[in-house]
Structure 1
Amino acid sequence: MSDERDKSPRRAMCAAVLTLEAIAVALSVPVMIGISDIRPAVALPVGLGVALACLLVAGMLRRESGYTLGHVLQVAAIALGVLAPLMYFLGAIFALLWGTAYGLGRKIERERAAAFAEYDQNQAS
């Protein structure tokens, strides 16, 4: 039963968003090079760097600092719009998904904690 209590819906949802965001950002690199005429020497390290950061932060979500970095990554993804204007839109979509996953995940965690506390109290009686 304690295994079920340790599962974090917020972590799972936020990690899923970051993983999908990493894929989308990595796929934006050819767009930056081909359509936006950004030099590969700029597009590759910036685009793939943000994509890699998304994956690394997804693995860091066991600590609260990982969520802070996740918020920062949303700003970085939107800022990629400077290189490829479509990223303003795509970054905003992922920021919205991140915010929803984060907020909904926190709500679920609070409700689960209350339910487990009530269950424990009923078991003790």
Structure 2
Amino acid sequence: MRTLCASTLISEVFVIGFAGLVAMKSDDISMTTVWTVCGAGMLLSVLLCGMLGRPGAVQLGWALQIGLIGSGFVVPTMFFLGAVFAGLWWASIHYGRQIDEAKAKWAAQAEASAGPDAA
């Protein structure tokens, strides 16, 4: 699960950065505000990559996904991209857990078939 989730989060770093470039062109928001918010989102994405094994990291990732969708109020395209990345986040968690379970099952079968003489 960690590999799939980390891949999604690293991709989000680029999407947040590009959304910041688009939001910079808005006259309603200062450049400082744009890059403070985008920088925090990018930093959170990178930090979450390292925290994926810890409790609460997946929930924090969901909060990031909600933030991405909410950024659509500033950059309308982010409504779509945020929804896409929320779907990718769900798929990363769902299928990542299935892969982890299959790997554990395979490892247990391999260990059982090796028998006690293999040690």
Could you say which residue in structure 1 is the equivalent of 2:59?
68
Alignment of 1:84 with 2:75, yes or no, is: yes
Amino acid at match of 2:50: G
Rounded Cα–Cα distance in structure 2 between residues aligned with 1:58 and 1:30: 23
Give the corresponding residue for 1:21.
Answer: 12
Q: Give the ranges of 4+ consecutive aligned residues of structure 1 lying more than 4 Å apart after TM superposition.
A: none
Aligned to 1:113: 104
Paired with 1:64 and 1:111, the residues of 2 have a C-alpha distance of 22
CA contact (8 A) 1:36 1:84 kept: no
| Matches of 1:26 and 1:100, distance apart in 2 | 23
Report the CA distance between 1:36 and its aligned residue.
Answer: 6.9
User: What TM-score, normalized by structure 1, do the two folds share?
Assistant: 0.84
Percent identity at matched positions? 31
Report the 3-state secondary structure (helix = DSSP H, G, I; strand = E; otherwise coil) of the residue aligned with 1:88. Answer: helix
Q: Structure 1, residues 85-123: CA drift from partner, whole Å, max 9, x if none? A: 111111111111111111111000011111111222222
Long gaps (5+) in structure 1: 1-9
What's the Cα RMSD here? 1.6
Q: TM-score, normalised by structure 2?
A: 0.87
| Structure 2 unaligned residues grouped into runs of 5+ | none
CA contact (8 A) 1:36 1:83 kept: no
Deviation at 1:35? Answer: 4.7
Q: Distance in 1 between matches of 2:27 and 2:12?
A: 20
**2: distance between equivalents of 1:109 and 1:79?**
31
